[in-house]
Amino acid sequence: MFPPRQISAPTGLTLLLKILDVLLEVNVTSLDRWPWRRLRVRGPSMTPTLRDRDVVALRVGDRAEPGDVVLVRWDSRPQQLSVKRAVRRVGEEWHVEGDNAFGSTDSRELGPARVLGVVRWRLWPSPRRIR
């Protein structure tokens, strides 16, 4: 026979992250009007603020301000979404740059980008507000 397994219920921060994970997953599948989205960061362009594989929560449609970390899309690369820092408005779009100047493809090469949402929280690892 197999020995009985010890199963412990998540508590504290682990429980909060699991609840957020479920809420944000429900958002993607059934609550299209809910403005919060969960996103996994890929690449080094936002180091040290965000690192490869960090998980963030962003609010779609939020009004960006200079200094905000934002989700953007360039007209020249419509299939690519990028997380960058908003620097200044350029007409209806934004000049955005990565925090890692040596590892970022951004408005310095591609021109202004359309802001789709504002990153408000890092959920994993080390949950905290992003600014």
Provide DSSP, 76-89. Answer: TEEEEEEEEEEEEE
Residues in the chain: 131
> In this structure, what token pair is assigned to residue 44?
């080094």
Domain edges within the chain: 35-129
For residue 59, give the nearest of 115, 15, 125 by alpha carbon: 115
Going residue by residue through the chain, which has 131 residues, state the pLDDT in tens, using 9 for 90 and above: 555 555 555 556 666 555 555 444 433 333 467 889 999 999 999 999 999 999 999 999 999 999 999 999 999 999 999 999 999 999 999 999 999 989 999 999 999 999 999 999 999 999 999 98
Residue 47 DSSP SS3:
coil
- Count of helices and strands (H, E) across the chain: 2, 7
Tokens of 2: 């197999």
Cβ neighbour number for residue 130 with a 10 Å cutoff: 18
Q: Are 131 and 119 in contact (CB under 8 A)?
A: no
What is this structure's pTM? 0.76
CATH number of 35-129: 2.10.109.10
